[in-house]
């Protein structure tokens, strides 16, 4: 049986800005034998409830959900979505995605905003 993941795709524009999340909830969701981190991204969308529902339906069926987005060099990257929610804002809908980042952050070519105080490195 071939499991087809669900994709949320950013078609064009600059790469999203990721914020590293270091709270215990987020880290516990991706805990494994390999190095994992959690980042959050916010983006405006026309239909936040539909995008959240697509992820929830995939998870209910045992399928993963991924964010597919452009990088600055024209290539594309995919990160697994581990949680999502939406909010209504003045401009429309805002989608919040929490993403699993596998591997050491230094090895990954993403624009990640790291709050070293939140990580306990300061």
Q: What is the pTM of this model?
A: 0.79
Which candidate, 9, 27, 49, 10, places its Cα nearest to that of 101? 27
pLDDT in tens, 37-74: 888 999 999 999 999 999 999 999 999 999 999 988 88
Instruction: Report the C-alpha gap between 92 and 78 in whole angstroms.
Output: 25
Question: Sorting pLDDT into bands at 50, 70 and 90, what band is 119?
Answer: very low
- 101-113, pLDDT tens digit by residue? 876 555 455 655 5
6-103 is a CATH 1.10.3470 domain: no
């Amino acid at each position: 049986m071939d499991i087809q993941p669900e994709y949320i795709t950013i078609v064009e524009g600059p790469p999203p800005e990721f914020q590293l999340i270091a709270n215990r909830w987020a880290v516990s969701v991706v805990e494994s034998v390999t190095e994992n981190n959690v980042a959050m991204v916010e983006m405006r969308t026309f239909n936040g409830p539909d995008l959240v529902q697509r992820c929830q339906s995939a998870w209910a069926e045992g399928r993963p959900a991924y964010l597919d987005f452009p990088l600055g060099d024209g290539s594309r990257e995919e990160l697994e979505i581990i949680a999502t929610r939406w909010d209504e804002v003045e401009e429309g809908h805002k989608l919040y995605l929490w993403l699993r980042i596998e591997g050491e952050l230094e090895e990954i070519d993403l624009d990640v905003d790291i709050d070293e105080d939140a990580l306990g490195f300061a």
